[in-house]
Structure 1
Amino acid sequence: MKIVNEVKRSAQLGIGLSRKQIILRAYVLCQRTKIQSSYRKFHAGKDWWKGVCNRHKELVVRTPQRS
């Protein structure tokens, strides 16, 4: 999955992405690839994110800590 690979690559570079940023990137990717939906203003949401996390256990949401 392209989104998962992008999240992993960002993590390797030390760039953490929030859930909101990942959802926005998924929306942009769908627009670029012209993925059609039966909903006019459909975009990925919390349920979509939960599904991605369930399928890809290597993705973990963490809270940033001060050094």
Structure 2
Amino acid sequence: MPQQEHLDSSTTENLLNVEQVCKRLSASRSALYRLITAKKIPPAKHIKHIGARWKESDINKFIKENFE
């Protein structure tokens, strides 16, 4: 289940981990890391002791712009 980030008092944003992003993209971890290295995917937030997380809205936009 995606984590949530509070953007302000009335809005929350789902955060996706590496596995969830790979599943959404139908891609392997190595393919995701190539996209990250090439700066073709929106940047992740790095959360101390948790790891990289992407905003669900950023990934949805990326998929829409690149795969639909």
TM-score range, shorter chain: 0.3 to 0.5
Q: Which has the higher contact order (CA 8 A, sep 6+)?
A: 2
Q: Compute the TM-score of the two structures, normalised by the length of structure 2.
A: 0.41
* TM-score of the aligned structures, taking structure 1 as reference length: 0.41
State which structure, 1 or 2, has the greater radius of gyration over its C-alpha atoms: 1
